[in-house]
Amino acid sequence: MRDVYLVGAGQSDYGAFPSESYRSLFRTAFEAAVSSVPNGLEAEDIDEAFVGNLGVGGRQIGLSGPAVTEHVGLDGVPTTRVENACAASGFAVRQAVQAVKSGIADVALAGGFEVMSDMSSDATKYWLGVSGETEWERLSGTTFSGVYAQMASVHMEQYGTTRDHLSQVAVKNHSNGAKNPHAQLGFECSLEDARSAPVVADPLNLYHCCPTSDGAACALIVSEDVVDRYTDDPIRVAGVGAGSDSVGLFQRDSYSSVPASQRAAESAYEMADVTPDDLDFAEVHDCFAIAELLAYEDLGFCEKGEAGQLIQSGATELGGDLPVNTSGGLKSKGHPIGATGAGQVVEAYKQLSGDAGERQVDAPTRGLTHNVGGSGGAAVIHIFEKESEVNA
């Protein structure tokens, strides 16, 4: 297998943008990614493109990949839409890695987008619902907040996790998001704010749930044969892993873990030949606060059942041993579904390039991104490392 590298990544702001289209958001992200490449990259260099998009709202159900790559001038470039619900563009990044490793492409674009802010609440419920399990979840009235609320309840019952642990996730991620100019909810929240918010699906309240968002993100993946053209300080895609599972939560053995994340982590750590101790930061899929706590355990940041203690210890804050969701996460930065996975890679790129501004982690060598589809029907993990630091 030849080595592959991340040489650029960029995103649009996340938020509600009534005057933007999915194409204009994608173009903003594409241009940001291209202009982030240290030694420059031309659109003509791109051999292949993968675009993640759930297609909520029914704007463009088919061929949304070519619809956006054409718009950014990638005429004729093989473009494939990839979709695994909220993990759509995490899997698009994985496809770009496979395309480049396969030798079929030397330079691949992986991106994603979603426009959600112009939908009514009923439409949102419908379009997100048809990514969940139909018979026993959606048609019986369960929403994604309901599904994650069940996971939270079980984790609280089994391991003594508290509502305050959930709220601490919100406090941390908002604190980070307040330092990210692209964040949708870029303001701080206090523990008291997070405690006293209205209930969405008990035990989850408003501060335990991510917003719906418009946005786009892109990343550029290249082969070892061409990486020197684009950067003098390469960031290697050291590991990639993925897993799948039943779409419905009720079909799984456990409500308090996400086996697809565990499988993805195992593969990614093995391929990168690292352990969680070797990570300097991580972006994990915190669509709901409980999801971040489950990720701590599924990805091996702590032992099973100890995620509450980990968030409470401060270890995952900026300045802690393993800062998590320095971007603000889905909670504060926002969650434009199809863009989220690629957007996590944007944060990894910024951190490893030393361009994360006020939220910069101190000289990181290695970071991880973790993107989940649905309530865990699919998960994908990437590990990025700065070669100059690894070899130092």
| Known active-site residue 189 | no
Residue among 70 and 321 whose Cβ is closer to a second copy: 70
Indicate the pairing of strand 107-114 with strand 48-52: parallel
The whole-angstrom separation of Cα 7 and Cα 76 is 23
Choosing from 155, 335, 370, 382, which is the catalytic residue? 335
Q: Find the angle CA(38)-CA(40)-CA(46) to the nearest 5 degrees.
A: 120
CA diameter of the chain = 56
Residues 180/333, Cβ–Cβ less than 8 Å: yes
- Which amino acid is present at 146? G
Tokens of 245: 């599972």
DSSP code at position 300: T
Tokens of 344: 């996590």
Least separation in angstroms between CB 194 and a second copy: 29
Least separation in angstroms between CB 205 and a second copy: 25
Interface residues with a second copy (CB under 8 A) are 1, 49, 54-56, 58-63, 65-67, 69-70, 74-86, 91, 94-95, 97-104, 127-128, 130-132, 134, 240-247, 251, 259-260, 263-264, 373-374, 377-378, 380
Q: What is the Cα 207 distance to its own chain's centre?
A: 19
Task: Find where tokens 């917003």 sit.
Answer: 211
Residue among 227 and 361 whose Cβ is closer to a second copy: 227
Least separation in angstroms between CB 97 and a second copy: 7
Least separation in angstroms between CB 114 and a second copy: 11
Task: Name every residue whose Cβ is closer than 8 Å to that of residue 310 and which is 6 or more positions away in sequence.
Answer: 293, 296, 301, 302, 316
| φ and ψ of 260, to 5 deg | -60, -35
Indicate the pairing of strand 366-373 with strand 281-283: parallel
The whole-angstrom separation of Cα 155 and Cα 357 is 35
Least separation in angstroms between CB 249 and a second copy: 12
Residue among 38 and 58 whose Cβ is closer to a second copy: 58
Residue among 189 and 274 whose Cβ is closer to a second copy: 274
Task: Find where tokens 């209930």 sit.
Answer: 199
Query: Strand pairing partners for 237?
Result: 384
Residue among 242 and 279 whose Cβ is closer to a second copy: 242
The whole-angstrom separation of Cα 180 and Cα 333 is 7
Residue among 61 and 191 whose Cβ is closer to a second copy: 61
Least separation in angstroms between CB 278 and a second copy: 21
| Known active-site residue 335 | yes
Show which residues are catalytic.
86, 335
